[in-house]
Amino acid sequence: MITVFVSENNPISQKSYDDAMDQLDPFRLSCTCGCSGSLIRYGFYRRHVKADGAKFPLIIRRVLCQSCSRSHALIPSSLVPYSQIPLEDQISLIEAFEQGDAPDTVLDSNPEMDERTPFRLIRMYLIYWRERLLSERIALRPFVRLTKQCLSIFGKQFMQIKNTPNIFFSPPT
């Protein structure tokens, strides 16, 4: 999996995803095996995202490493791998929890999220992420720094549940 930097104020949509991925040159990306310049476009898969009051499909592009034959999804930094809830909403839920507030404001802004989701996410945060962030002195905001630090120190995106290898790519400007 390759996490691609996107701006924090970039809303998640198929168009914004396609625009960000169209700017990428797959030969500039590195594989998790360490090989550079050997990735080619390989295909796509569909996943669903719950954002902006709706649940919508997002077609995620894949690349294939010609050296090790591994395929990788190109995930924007605003998404958490294997989750339908965007990173921004997950951080907002955690911040509300840490301040002793109810998750109502996040649930109101994302009505597709069911009532159990905040409790499941907060439980996962408490079990796996809270102590790790505290021990490394990692702040929740800005989320781009959070993403970079979690990927470099822990090898996975913040709130990522599976131990799939994940690397960060920040396109040159």
What are the pLDDT digits (tens) for 68-77? 988 889 988 8
pLDDT at res. 45: 92
Question: What is the model's pTM?
Answer: 0.82
Residue 173 has pLDDT above 60, yes or no: no
Residue 61 has pLDDT above 90, yes or no: yes
Query: Residue ranges per domain, the chain?
Result: 2-84+162-169
Kindly indicate the confidence band of residue 102, based on its pLDDT and cuts at 50, 70 and 90.
Answer: confident
Q: Please name the residues in contact with 112: beta carbons below 8 A apart, sequence gap of 6 or more.
A: 50, 51, 53, 54, 55
